[in-house]
Structure 1
Amino acid sequence: MNASVASVWELELLLLLRRGRDRDWTHDQLVRELRASPSIIGKGLERLQKAGLVVADGALCRYAAAGRHLDELVDRLDQLYRDRPTTVMNAVLGAPNAKLQSFADAFRLKKD
C-alpha cells in the first residue's frame, strides 16, 4: 500500500471521493468537478486504488478505504486540510519524489 499522496491534485481527488463517499463517480465527472486533465485523474485514481482507498467497478469508482484505520487517517487528513490547507499543500509539495530523486542521482559524482 502506498503511504503518501503524490500531488495536490491527488489529494483533492481523494478528498472529493471521500466527501462524496455514498456515490459512484465516472472518470468524466471527476475531470469536470476538479477541472483537471483526464490523465491526472486517471493516474490519481490508479494510485488511490493501489493504496486501498478507491474501488473501481467498470466505468465507475468510489471511495472505499480498505480498513477502519485507513479511513480514520483520511478523515484526519480531510480535517487538517480544511483547517490548514497551506500546511498540507506544502507537505505534499515538499515530499520526496522518487522519479525526481532517481534523475538527480544519475548526475551525482562519485568520489575516487
Structure 2
Amino acid sequence: MMKQNPDREWSARDLSKEMRTNVDYAASQLAFLAYKGFINPTDDVCYKYHSESPYKPMVDQLEEYYNLHRPSVINCIYSQPIDSIRGFADAFKIKKD
C-alpha cells in the first residue's frame, strides 16, 4: 500500500484505518519497517515508502506475487502463528496409555 503511494506520508492512524487494524499495532509495524530500512520517517509520527531501499527488488517481487496469488499469501500470513502456537500447545498434551 505504501509502495503504491510513494509520495504519501502515512501515520499509524492512517495505516490502521486502511488496514483495519489497531493503531498500536500499526505504529509498531511502521517503526519496525523503518528500523529495517523499508520506509523512512518523515517526522515523529509519519513515514513514507523508501523507494531507494536496497530491498526494492524483493518488495517488487512480493508485490507481483501478492497480486497473482493473493489468497495464498494471505493464508500463509495468517496460518503461521496459529500453527506455531498449536505445535507448542501440542507438546504439552498428556496421552492416555
Q: TM-score, normalised by structure 1?
A: 0.62
Following TM superposition, the consecutive aligned residue runs of length 4 or more in structure 1 with deviations greater than 6 angstroms are none
Question: 8 Å contact 1:52–1:66 — kept in the other structure?
Answer: no
Deviation at 1:66, TM superposition (A): 5.7
1:1-112 equivalent positions in 2, closer than 5 A: 16-56=1-41, 57-64=43-50, 67-68=53-54, 70-95=55-80
Sequence identity percentage: 24
The alpha-carbon deviation at position 17 of structure 1 amounts to 1.0
- Largest Rg, 1 or 2: 2
Native 8 Å contact 1:27 1:59 kept in 2: yes
- Report which structure shows greater RCO (CA 8 Å, sep ≥6): 1
Distance 1:51 1:66, change over 3 A: farther
Gaps of 5+ in 1: 1-15, 108-112
The alignment of Structure 1 onto Structure 2 pairs a total of residues equal to: 92
* Structure 2: gaps of 5 or more residues: 93-97
